[in-house]
Structure 1
Amino acid sequence: MELNQHLARLWRYGLLLSRQRHIADDLVQATCVRALERAGQFVPGTRMDRWLLSILHSIWLNEIRAQRVRQGQGQVDADQALSFDGESVAQTHVLAAQVIRRVDALPEAQRETVFLAYVEGLSYREVADVLQVPIGTVMSRLAAARAKLAEYPPLHTVPHPYRGEH
């Protein structure tokens, strides 16, 4: 079983769910352990990434989220998660931070669905399988998320200090 190629995707999803790097690390580790323990349940010919994302989601729902609620832990700030390296990259990060904050403000179910469909590129059917919901629920969550995101004003870049606004 080749887990290495899926670790970055798992970690991004873990971070999206938990909003904390150390919890995302724990989620990925628990996912890998569970996948190895249950390797016989993987169906050859199917997408391993979808199977692993489903395991991670299940672990989050069953264990980590309940623990987080009991402990009252906080979040990762989008600005802290982005590094700035040059004007062009800085502009990209500023826009990305704005998008992340807007998506982060969505209800958890919509946020997860948006991430899996638009960031990870899963099909609606695959998202439904990962989240263990009907495909209509996926479509409804995405439509509601798009409508909510459309309510925001346009994104803004940072003006260059020497040339004025872009």
Structure 2
Amino acid sequence: MNIDAAIVHIPRLRRYARALAGDAALADDLVQDTLERACQKWALWRPPAAASADQVQKALRSWLLTLMHNLYANQWQQSARHRTVELDETMDPVHDPTAKLALQLDLERALAMLAPQAREVLLLIGMEQFSYGETAQMLGVPVGTVMSRLSRAREQLRRLMEGERAATTVLRAVK
């Protein structure tokens, strides 16, 4: 197997990176960094023994997504130390400039408001269709942690989409 096998997975890597980063340029940088890391670490990847071609491709995709997850987590931790990111209320979806759907913007904003760990689990299971076990292996956490993060992420996303901001509850003065 050679590095050309990873090229098949670039569209999925871009989709996942885009959902994680929320910005096309940052997502492209993340994909490029992931592919560079894959090239550097290619000798470490071992396909499953006695696996079919489909299983080998699935294992390669999981390995690439794991590399991406680790790079993103490292970059997120470094950027959190240096600056805080505020969500721009006038943000347009860069990936679909022709459609200005309010629901799409609301979902993008709500996803951006989730904690990175919750967003990763939600995207891997909901968008990339990985199982709980595969997601746990990619993120290096127990399956129970994946299940609880997913449950909390879904509930928080539901509240955000309904407009309930539990963290910004306004207190009224009582006489």
Partner of 1:49: 61
- 1:5 and 2:14 are equivalent in the alignment: no
Letter in 2 for 1:26: D
Against the structure 1 CA distance between its residues 8 and 75, is the aligned structure 2 distance closer, same or farther, given a 3 Å change threshold? Answer: farther
In the alignment, is the contact (CA less than 8 A) between 2:22 and 2:108 conserved in 1? no
The alignment's C-alpha RMSD in Å is: 2.6
Partner of 1:163: none
Residues 56-135 of structure 1: pairs in structure 2 closer than 5 A: 56-62=68-74, 64-72=75-83, 74=85, 79-83=92-96, 85=98, 90=99, 93-135=101-143
- The total of aligned residue pairs comes to 148
In the alignment, is the contact (CA less than 8 A) between 2:34 and 2:64 conserved in 1? yes
How far the C-alpha of 1:128 sits from its partner, in A, is 0.8
How far the C-alpha of 1:76 sits from its partner, in A, is 7.7
How far the C-alpha of 1:54 sits from its partner, in A, is 0.4
Gaps of 5+ in 2: 164-175
How far the C-alpha of 1:20 sits from its partner, in A, is 3.4
How far the C-alpha of 1:100 sits from its partner, in A, is 2.1
TM-score between both structures, scaled by the size of structure 2: 0.70
**Residues 12-52 of structure 1, C-alpha deviation per residue, up to 9 Å, x if partnerless?**
33233333333322221121112122222222244211100
Instruction: Decide which moves more: 66-75 or 101-110.
Output: 66-75
- 1:153 and 2:162 are equivalent in the alignment: yes
1: distance between equivalents of 2:22 and 2:83? Answer: 13
2: distance between equivalents of 1:20 and 1:75? Answer: 13
Detail structure 1 runs of 4+ shifted over 6 Å in the superposition: none
Q: Secondary structure at the residue paired with 2:8?
A: helix
How far the C-alpha of 1:70 sits from its partner, in A, is 4.4
1: distance between equivalents of 2:10 and 2:41? Answer: 17
TM-score between both structures, scaled by the size of structure 1: 0.74
In the alignment, is the contact (CA less than 8 A) between 1:117 and 1:124 conserved in 2? yes
